[in-house]
Amino acid sequence: MRYLVLSILIGFSANIFAEVKMNDQCGKQSEVAKESRLYNNIKWKTASEQDNFGYDIYRANTEDGEYSIINEDTIEGAGTTDSATAYEFHDDTIDPCKQYYYYIESISMDGVREAFTPKFQSKLKLQPKK
């Protein structure tokens, strides 16, 4: 299974889009209304896909830390297509005063998993209070 990445809009030279919303506290946002939470917006595109079942997003607190899947359900792939496909995932389970590391894993129709992106780092949404 091979894919051509047109862009991965996240932490390294390909940008992480962090929309700062009305929230000024560090810590978990579980008590904040979902629509008011800060989040890391992870976007990627493929030029084409072959037998692609989908994607899982992994996150860790450090680059070499333990990565865990953060999406509840596998993000559905396009199967087999010669067309470009855009994907997006909002990680709203973050502490806005911490940086995170991510990578995306692709899953073939046969269940074969492979890293689709290198590890990339998010940016802080808020500066911790001193």
Give me the tens of pLDDT residue by residue for the chain, a chain 130 residues long.
Answer: 444 443 444 433 334 444 444 345 677 676 777 777 788 999 999 999 999 999 999 999 999 999 999 999 999 999 999 999 999 999 988 988 899 999 999 999 999 999 999 999 998 887 766 6
Contact 11/61 with Cβ under 8 angstroms? no
Q: What pLDDT does residue 99 have?
A: 93
Q: What pLDDT does residue 34 have?
A: 72
Burial class (CB in 10 A: 0-12, 13-18, 19+), 17: middle
All domains in the chain, ordered by first residue = 5-121 (2.60.40)
Q: What pLDDT does residue 2 have?
A: 44
